[in-house]
């Protein structure tokens, strides 16, 4: 299965830059533990593809609303700024 991802670099709140990945995915159960495992797996795959990833999150629709799961600072950023455009795909 191909999964969309956004790999971006933005200025960090503390200064400097942060590289992050947002994946268009959710675990089949939707549980926190399964989402955490999926996020860890996808983050490892992105890193193995030579993408620098310091923070990562899953993005999915639930109940008609966009939901984010992952690194708290990144989830806060995405909640304020919305979902970025997809830049890559990976096979999962």
Query: What integer pLDDT is reported at residue 86 of this predicted model?
Result: 97
Domain with 64, as residue range(s), is 2-91
Separation in Å, CA 82 to CA 9, 31, 72, 79, 87: 15, 23, 15, 6, 15
What pLDDT digit, counting tens, does each position of 65-91 carry?
999 999 999 999 999 999 999 999 998
Full-model pTM: 0.93
What would the pLDDT profile of 13-63 be if each residue is shown by its tens digit? 788 999 999 999 999 999 999 999 999 999 999 999 999 999 999 999 988
Strand partners, 61: 66
Beta strands in the chain (DSSP E): 2-11, 17-23, 55-62, 65-70, 88-91
Angle, vertex CA 19, rays to CA 14 and CA 13, nearest 5? 15
pLDDT given at position 8? 95
Q: How many domains does the chain have?
A: 1
Q: What is the pLDDT of residue 69?
A: 98
Given the structure tokens 């999915």, which residue do they identify?
60
């Amino acid at each position: 299965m191909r999964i969309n991802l956004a790999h971006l670099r933005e200025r960090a709140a503390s200064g400097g830059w942060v590289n992050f990945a947002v994946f268009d995915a959710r675990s089949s159960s939707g549980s926190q533990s399964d989402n955490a495992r999926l996020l860890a797996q996808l983050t490892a795959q992105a890193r193995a593809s030579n993408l620098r990833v310091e923070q990562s999150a899953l993005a999915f629709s639930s109940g008609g609303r966009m939901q984010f799961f992952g690194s708290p600072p990144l989830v806060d950023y995405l909640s304020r700024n919305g979902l970025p455009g997809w830049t890559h795909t990976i096979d999962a």
